[in-house]
Structure 1
Amino acid sequence: MAAHRAAYNTPTHRSRPRGQRARSRARLPALPHSGNVTCFSLANGVNLYVYANPSSPSVVVNGYLEVGALDEPSATKAGLAGFVADCLMRGTQRRTYAQIYEQIEAVSASLSFCSGMFTTSFFAKSLAEDLPLMLDLLSDVIRCPTFPESEVAKERAEWLTDLHERATSTSAMCGLVFNALCYPEDHPFHYATDGYPETAQAITLDDVRQFHATFYAPAGMAIVIVGAVKAEQAHDLVTAHFADWSAARPARSVNLEVPPIAERRRKHVHIPGKSQTAMLLGRPGPSQLDPQWLACTLMNSVFGQFGLYGRLGERIRKEEGLVYHIGSRFEGGLGPGAWNVYAEVHPGTVDRVVEIVRAEMRRIREHKVKPAELDDNKAYFVRALPLRMETNEGIASQILNMVRFRRGLDWLLEYPDRVYAITAADVQAAAQRWLDPDHYVLATAGPEVENGASSAEGFSVHVDDRR
């Protein structure tokens, strides 16, 4: 492991003077691990993780609450969790909307919220001396929002504007159709976490207040604090603002199993005024809790990421000249997000691009990756990781990911060995499990297709057209 850890600090630009390389390495913060991340657990279920970085004048607070779109009562309320999160800072029992932002801006700080399928995340940044204020604000807006009717109406208007803009975006609409094709109507992933115009109009003020009262609770809350702060100080502040929070939420009971796709499904969405077609081709994939996750991401790097978009970029962009940008990704988080290939293409070349993608899927399934190609991708994985932790934000994000995906706080120290241990057979096994050139979903959005067709011959279409 020592040799692999040393690779983190190996310079890639050999022309840089030796002394300058040494000084640059000295400025990099140490990798967070169980020996330098201090952990605290409050009796009500709040978990705090503190990483002291005294070389930085700032402090970052990053974390999440276990509340999200999974807790929405029905598809007719799609987007409710996100709307509640967006309304948190519209006013509290102690502060008006204007006062919240005046206090944040007076110290050049920031505070924001974002809700997803499983959790609602928060992020704050300020100078270290303003950490007490930021935690006071964070506690206030999470625990005591009042959701003033006039402010909620303004937030709804902004939401509807965003949805109107989404309807004109080929990539966004392609994503909606792709998820509707991938996941059945009784699966949470079938629906957009940011909702639809009809749900945005249907959600009431009572819905907003009831959702917050029912699901916002301290159990499972994670708070990561990184910067010029001592662990004891952070603990005292978090305890003062959150230890007496005693709300409880109902347990989740959601089935996230996805039935296998046993055919090809295809649908096109016509968006007037567009010259390019956005396309997504793929199928449901693993969650990040899957033991095969790291091998999957390495396989995907070979297939559609590394070196200007991997094999897909080499074949479809460089050799064929059919696209400017193409790639592939796994979208899994705590649940089974999709694996897909994404591209912007000329409408007349969609079928040709699809055939090449399918051919490359067969190749990576049937033939093991060559050692040189695999080694290049492994080296990229190992060298890229520390670059994501040059800032307090990057460090906090990595700690939060270790917590969220239950990896243990020594994951980053173990990461090089884990990457280098992946074999060509592991990569092939990941491709054979998750990539299927014969059974997949193809969603496209853009100019109207010839004859107004929404599916190609030989494809069966299963999609909720009410969207």
Structure 2
Amino acid sequence: MEPSASPCKRSGWPSPSVSRATSGSRTTSPGFRPSRWKTCSARRAFTCARKTASLAGSSRQATHRKTSRKTLMAISDLTRQSLPGPHNIVRTVLDNGITVLVYENHATQSVVLAGSLATGSIFEPPEKNGLASITAASLMRGSETRTFDAINSALEDIGADLDIDAGVHRTGFFGKALAEDLATIAGILGDVLQQPAFPAAQIERLRGEIITGLKIRQQDTRYRANRAFHEQLYPPNHPYHRSVRGTLDTVPQITIDDIRDFHRRHFGPSGMIVAVVGAVRADEAIDIVRHALERWRNPDQPEAPPLPHVAAPTQTQRRFVPLPGKTQADLVVGTIGPARKDADYYAAMLANSVLGQFGMMGRVGEKVREELGLAYDVGSSINAGHGPGPWSVSAGVNPANVDRALEAIVAELERLVREPVSAEDLENVQSYYIGRLPLQLESNEGIANTLVNIETYGLGLDYLLRYRDTIMRLTREDLLAAAQRYIKPDALVVAVAGPESRPQSAS
């Protein structure tokens, strides 16, 4: 599945809805090892937690386990008052249904305008796969009052950014500028959302760019393995079965009339979320957003259709995608995981961190990459959104090592459902998730992304204040129960993409 569009891609942090080591759609070259970055990320979060505990006066002579426990308490005590929450987030709903969230941060001179609309590829028919994506991308190509060049010039003149991108359930937008220029980027956003021009020449240029990107992806082992995995895991009538970007068959068939009609029917203020974070007063920010967007109406905007039922696999399924001439094979193995609002989401999130995130990419990293030397990179992810997302392990390997790497990964999945994680592992991942919270909120982008996701999933404005307790109350047995609920080692979906000289068991 390609998750709902995140408004703040520049934040460098996954949204609260995604617990992942590496994205299923990554396009790294053979031999690239993202685990080095993620290891630094995990260590930085753990180090941050330790330093905070030190500031709070925790004993340097304590054991590792006791220091870790004190860390979890100290970091919360020191940061709780400064975290975004009901006491410092201003939330209002405009007359047309747009929810506006404002968090003042006068320590910077910039401001972020981010959010999402309640539309995405879930509304498009399968034969028009990619329609939501090209519609969203077309908005910045010109409006009834501004040409494509005029929009770019206006943004460049003030050193600002503004992007719009579709996901499955939501279409995200992200803008950043100096605080004094908030009205400018809000005005452009309101203009392109409400009265896009969809100029034919620009649409055809955009279509060409999309098709070029799709052709490049067709030769990417990581992308092709990920696509084959989702196509097996979800039935053809499910939006998670398809790529948000569309295919080489569908994108050329999308007409400008299709784009205009999709915008007319599915873009509107109902369910829209706008977050403003930065050096601006809350009342001023709300007035700017109101001026830009409150006149927007779409009385015919529909509710999202329900997701089709999806059942977990009952037996192991394998698919091989031949890509002649490649020197690396990529594999994805996994099953259906939780939705974001499922009660055991957090337990699954921590179990996944033990499996393939913390430290050197968790257990699969230690075993498959470090000990056995079978993978260039390996990690696990839970992509939980409005519906049950995949829980998977991805690896880039030498084609000759596919079978052995797969066997080692499955062995770690079996271990995860057979026995509780150790007390040390539990404390480590609890420390990591609590310790990284201040890092996630270091930037306006990170705060805005978090606010949008809090509103999207109805987590409550006190979500961050409750976060430590939510993580701390989890037990080893909770993690085991979550793993056992979702992972059936004898009923997995396996996808491999690589050169044709493949092991027979991957066919």
TM-score by length of 1: 0.91
d(CA) in 1 for partners of 2:492, 2:280: 50
Letter in 2 for 1:339: W
- Decide whether the 8 Å contact of 2:155 with 2:161 is kept in 1: yes
Structure 1 residue 418: deviation in Å?
0.9
Structure 1 residue aligned with 2:501: 449
Counterpart among 29, 37, 51 of residue 11 in structure 1:
51
Shift of 1:26: 10
What secondary structure, in the 3-state scheme, does the structure 1 residue paired with 2:380 have? strand
| Residue aligning to 1:20 | none
Distance 1:27 1:402, change over 3 A: closer
Rate the CA distance shift 1:27–1:181 in 2: closer, same or farther, 3 A: closer
| Contact kept? 2:400, 2:502, Cα under 8 Å | no
**Alpha-carbon distance in 1 for matches of 2:320, 2:48:** 45
- The 5 Å alignment of 1:232-251 reads 232-248=283-299, 249-251=301-303
Residue aligning to 2:344: 292
**Aligned pairs (5 A) from 1:293-308:** 293-308=345-360
Q: Tell which deviates more after alignment, 395-404 or 212-221.
A: 395-404
* Aligned-partner SS, 1:11: helix
Distance change in 2, residues 1:103/1:183 (3 Å): same
**Is 1:317 equivalent to 2:369 in the alignment?**
yes
Look up the equivalent residue of 1:138 and give its one-letter code.
Answer: L
Shift of 1:440: 0.8
How far did residue 64 of structure 1 move? 0.2
Q: What amino acid is the match of 1:261?
A: P
1:64 matched to which residue of 2?
116
Say if 1:37 and 1:50, in contact at 8 Å, map to a contact too.
yes
> Aligned in 2, Cα 1:237/1:30: closer, same or farther, shift over 3 Å?
same
2:228 to 177, 191, 195: 177
Q: Please list every run of 5 or more consecutive structure 1 residues that lacks an aligned counterpart in the other structure.
A: 1-6, 16-24, 457-467
CA 1:236–1:130 in structure 2 vs 1: closer, same or farther (change >3 Å)? same
* Contact 1:279–1:442 (Cα < 8 Å) also in 2: yes
Residues in 2 aligned to 1:70 and 1:218: alpha-carbon distance in whole angstroms = 17
Question: Hey, what does 1:85 align to over in structure 2?
Answer: 136
Contact 2:80 2:465 in 1 (8 A): no
8 Å contact from structure 1 (residues 269, 454) kept in 2: no
Q: What's the secondary structure of 2:448's corresponding residue?
A: helix
Q: Is the CA contact (8 Å cut-off) linking 2:307 and 2:387 kept in structure 1?
A: no
- Per the alignment, residue 49 of structure 1 pairs with 101
Give the equivalent residue in structure 2 for 1:157.
208
Q: What code does the residue aligned with 1:394 have?
A: G
Within 2, Cα distance between the matches of 1:29 and 1:411?
A: 13
C-alpha contact (below 8 Å) 2:337/2:486 kept by paired residues:
yes
Whole-Å Cα distance in 2 between the matches of residues 172 and 295 of structure 1?
A: 28
Give the 3-state SS of the residue equivalent to 1:197 in structure 2: coil
- Residue 282 of structure 2: aligned partner: 231
Separation in 1, partners of 2:218, 2:81: 43
* Inter-partner Cα distance in structure 1 for 2:498 and 2:49: 46
CA contact (8 A) 1:8 1:382 kept: no
Report the equivalent of 2:327.
275
Conserved? CA contact 1:29–1:53, under 8 Å: no
User: What letter corresponds to residue 295 of structure 1 in structure 2?
Assistant: A
Cα deviation per residue 1:74-120 (whole Å; 9 max; x = unaligned)? 21100100000111011101100000000000000000011000000
SS in 2 for 1:198: coil
2-structure distance, mates of 1:140, 1:381: 39
CA contact (8 A) 1:369 1:427 kept: yes
Normalised to the residue count of structure 2, the TM-score between the two structures is: 0.84
Q: Which amino acid aligns with 1:103?
A: A
Residues 116-148 of structure 1 deviation map (CA, whole Å, 9 limit, x = unaligned) = 000000000000100111110010011110101
Question: Considering only aligned residues, what root-mean-square deviation do their CA atoms show, in Å?
Answer: 2.0
Residue 259 (structure 1) shift: 1.8
SS of equivalent to 1:43: coil
How many equivalent pairs are there?
Answer: 439
Instruction: Give the gaps of 5 or more residues in structure 2.
Output: 1-46, 56-76
Alignment counterpart, residue 265 of structure 2, candidates 211, 214, 217: 214
The aligned residue for residue 148 of structure 2 is 97
User: Of the two structures, which has the highest relative contact order with CA contacts closer than 8 Å and spacing of 6 or more?
Assistant: 2
**What is the one-letter code of the residue matched to 2:180?**
E
Q: Identify the match of residue 140 of structure 1 among 182, 191, 206.
A: 191
Secondary structure, counterpart of 2:82 in structure 1 = coil
C-alpha offsets along residues 333-362 of structure 1, whole Å, 9 cap, x if unaligned?
112110100000111211111111121111
Q: Equivalences for 1:242-261 in 2 at 5 Å?
A: 242-248=293-299, 249-261=301-313
Note the C-alpha offset of 1:409: 1.0
Aligned equivalent of 2:7: none
Q: Describe the superposition over 1:26-75 as per-residue Cα deviations: whole angstroms up to 9, x where unpaired.
A: 99992111110001101211000000011110000010000000010x21
Aligned partner letter, 2:303: A
Amino acid at match of 2:446: G
After superposition, where does 1:311-350 map in structure 2 within 5 Å? 311-350=363-402
Distance 1:338 1:104, change over 3 A: same
Q: 2: CA distance between counterparts of 1:408 and 1:48?
A: 14
Shift of 1:192: 0.9
Q: Which moved more, 1:183-192 or 1:254-263?
A: 254-263
Deviation at 1:284, TM superposition (A): 1.6
2:471 is matched with 419
CA contact (8 A) 2:117 2:268 kept: yes
For the 8 Å contact 1:312–1:357, the answer to whether it is kept is yes
Percentage of matched positions with identical amino acids: 38
Amino acid paired to 1:102: S
* Contact 1:322/1:353 (<8 A) preserved: yes
Distance in 1, Cα, partners of 2:80 & 2:312: 45
1:268 to 1:454, Cα distance in 2 relative to 1, 3 A? farther
2-structure distance, mates of 1:374, 1:280: 25
Within 1, Cα distance between the matches of 2:298 and 2:335?
Answer: 39
Deviations 1:154-201 (A, max 9, x none): 000101111011111111111111110101111111111110011111
In 2, are the aligned partners of 1:267 and 1:454 still within 8 Å (CA)? Answer: no
Deviation of 1:8 after TM superposition, in Å, equals 7.6
